[in-house]
Amino acid sequence: MVFLDVDGPLIPFRERPGTPPGIPPADPSGHPLIHRLDPGDGARLMGLMGLGGDLVWATTWMETANEIVAPRLGLPRLPVVPFPDDLSTGNGLHWKTVPLVNWAAGRSFVWLDDEVTEADSRWIEDYHPGRALVHRVDPFTGLTGPDFDRVEQWLRGPDPRR
């Protein structure tokens, strides 16, 4: 499974290299940064699915990711992790950590997000029985070739817990 955040990993906080200067035309979605999506990311994400990395939205966009983001990337409708209304953890973990581990239910997963920390990785290692790769994506660049390479390598690798 590959848990996928939108803001930061797919819609970077800065313009992508090669973006024409000036103000981009308004998008019908009304989202001011949606033009930062890279359609090439869709093909790379589909490639992860071919390696057994079933994609799952792990974003506050919730179902809107299927309506606005997925079509622009050429992705099918994906499952969406439901998050609780109370997003605080009070324990130094990212508020997504426990819900994602619960959703995974012991299955192996990759988590692509721009807000994960070492605390999340350690907690997952201690409390998740499956294999997991918690991979921080630079929110200013979004997903890059090396990010995809790392995930592909991990998906192809052996499960060290066997």
Tokens of 69: 């983001």
With cut-offs at 50, 70 and 90, classify the pLDDT of residue 162.
Answer: very low
In a domain? residue 118: yes
d(C-alpha 12, C-alpha 8), whole Å: 4
d(C-alpha 72, C-alpha 145), whole Å: 19
In a domain? residue 131: yes
In a domain? residue 91: yes
In a domain? residue 22: no
Structure-derived torsion over alpha carbons of residues 58, 63, 64, 70, reported in degrees to the nearest 10: 70
Question: Rounded to two decimals, what is the model's pTM?
Answer: 0.91
Give the torsion sign (CA, 73, 103, 143, 148): negative
What does residue 133 show for φ and ψ, rounded to 5 degrees?
-120, 115
For residue 139, the enclosing domain spans 2-17+30-156
Split into its structural domains, the chain has a count of: 1
Report the pLDDT value the prediction gives residue 91, as an integer from 0 to 100.
Answer: 77
Query: Which residue carries 């660049």 as its tokens?
Result: 141
Report the pLDDT value the prediction gives residue 29, as an integer from 0 to 100.
Answer: 79
In a domain? residue 82: yes
- The yes-or-no verdict on residue 160 having pLDDT over 50 is no
Report the pLDDT value the prediction gives residue 28, as an integer from 0 to 100.
Answer: 74
Residue-wise pLDDT for 12-59, tens only, equals 999 877 777 777 776 777 777 899 999 999 999 999 999 988 999 999
Cβ atoms < 10 Å from Cβ of 135: 19
Residue-wise pLDDT for 88-146, tens only, equals 666 789 999 999 999 999 999 999 999 999 999 999 999 999 999 999 999 999 999 99
Comparing 51-60, 82-91, 147-156, the range with the smallest average pLDDT is 82-91
In a domain? residue 24: no
CATH code: domain of residue 63: 3.40.50
In a domain? residue 61: yes
In a domain? residue 100: yes
Report the pLDDT value the prediction gives residue 23, as an integer from 0 to 100.
Answer: 72
Q: What is the mean pLDDT of residues 61-79?
A: 96
